[in-house]
């Protein structure tokens, strides 16, 4: 692994291969000049974790992904009974904002979005404990408003991105904290093809069982060639655009139902300290999740940084 000096940032993706080494201060000019730039974490404590089944995945460590949020919806069944269900995931990007997929918004889910749960690990225990260490109790915070991309459409699933503003600020701790956003120039230059990125969530962990996993799952998936991705979905009457990427396509390994809106991540070494950055948002995949060689499709976050800044406030 290449070690850069203190003014540089390198990315390494599980293979000891450095994808790029760029000046950490080379933040995109359209971002650093934006009036809402000061509302982001800007590299302070973002992307750190205290721990050094998505399908085919394994249990995550307690505190491994402190930025993952669960989205709680209110559903009324045929007997007019109210059920509260977790149907999507999201990613903490600041003390007031969660990033998720547009198709997870209440307008498209057709059921009310009530709140987000933060600091979850095992859904059956609260607080969660591992190896003698216990996390604080989970935080449940209601949604003040949601803002989805103005060009999102259900049929194409392009521009599948949405920001949730919370009613109250998140109380950050070792088990609840924001991920770093792709604010540097080199994020628009990196070729991820063939590299392994991480996904995590509580979605279906067995293709023969419809219920989600109790424990947060994690998995590494490889990024496919974009042209191959375009052709794969063209054969299925779906158009893939440059602001989307294909990941996975291995039978039995994929992000699945319940992981919609969740993060696609990569650890970067920032001044010698590994920091996770948000690369993509889980958008959609084949009808039979992880039961074919068809890859999952993710929204590329670096292409939406200005949109994100345009849609946050104090």
Catalytic residues: 103, 160, 260
Contacts of 77 (CB under 8 A, 6+ apart): 83
Q: Phi and psi (nearest 5°) for 179?
A: -85, 160
Q: Phi and psi (nearest 5°) for 281?
A: -125, 130
Q: Phi and psi (nearest 5°) for 219?
A: -160, 145
In terms of C-beta density within 10 A (0-12 exposed, 13-18 middle, 19 or more buried), how is residue 38 classed?
exposed
Chain-centroid distance, C-alpha 246: 14
Task: Identify which of 69, 1, 92, 45 has the alpha carbon closest to the alpha carbon of residue 275.
Answer: 45
Query: Residue for token digits 């057709």?
Result: 110
Sign of CA dihedral 85, 90, 94, 97: negative
Q: Which element (helix H / strand E) includes 29? A: helix 29-32
Beta-bridged to residue 69, according to DSSP, are: 90, 118
Task: Identify which of 84, 105, 61 has the alpha carbon closest to the alpha carbon of residue 198.
Answer: 61
In terms of C-beta density within 10 A (0-12 exposed, 13-18 middle, 19 or more buried), how is residue 5 classed?
exposed
């Amino acid at each position: 692994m290449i070690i850069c000096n203190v003014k540089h940032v390198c990315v390494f993706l599980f293979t000891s291969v450095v994808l790029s080494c760029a000046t950490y201060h080379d933040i995109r000019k359209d971002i650093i000049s934006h009036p809402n730039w000061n509302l982001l974490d800007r590299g302070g404590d973002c992307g750190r974790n205290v721990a050094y089944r998505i399908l085919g995945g394994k249990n995550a460590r307690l505190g491994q992904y402190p930025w993952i949020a669960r989205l709680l919806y209110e559903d009324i069944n045929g007997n007019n009974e109210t059920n509260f269900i977790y149907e999507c995931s999201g990613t903490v990007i600041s003390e007031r904002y969660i990033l998720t997929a547009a198709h997870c918004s209440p307008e498209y889910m057709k059921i009310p979005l009530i709140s987000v749960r933060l600091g979850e690990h095992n859904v059956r225990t609260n607080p969660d404990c591992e190896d003698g260490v216990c996390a604080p109790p989970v935080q449940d915070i209601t949604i003040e408003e949601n803002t989805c991309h103005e060009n999102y459409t259900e049929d194409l699933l392009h521009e599948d991105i949405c920001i949730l503003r919370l009613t109250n600020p998140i109380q950050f701790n070792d088990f609840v904290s924001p991920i770093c956003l792709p604010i540097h120039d080199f994020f628009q230059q990196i070729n991820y093809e063939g590299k392994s990125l991480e996904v995590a969530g509580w979605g279906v962990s067995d293709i023969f069982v419809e219920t989600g996993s109790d424990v947060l799952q994690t998995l590494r998936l490889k990024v496919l060639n974009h042209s191959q991705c375009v052709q794969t979905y063209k054969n299925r009457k779906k158009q893939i655009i440059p602001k989307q990427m294909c990941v996975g396509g291995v039978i039995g390994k994929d992000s699945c139902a319940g992981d919609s809106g969740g993060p696609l991540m990569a650890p970067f070494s920032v001044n010698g300290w590994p920091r996770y950055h948000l690369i993509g948002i889980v958008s959609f995949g084949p009808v039979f999740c992880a039961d074919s060689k068809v890859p999952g499709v993710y929204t590329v976050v670096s292409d939406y940084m200005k949109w994100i800044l345009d849609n946050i406030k104090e």
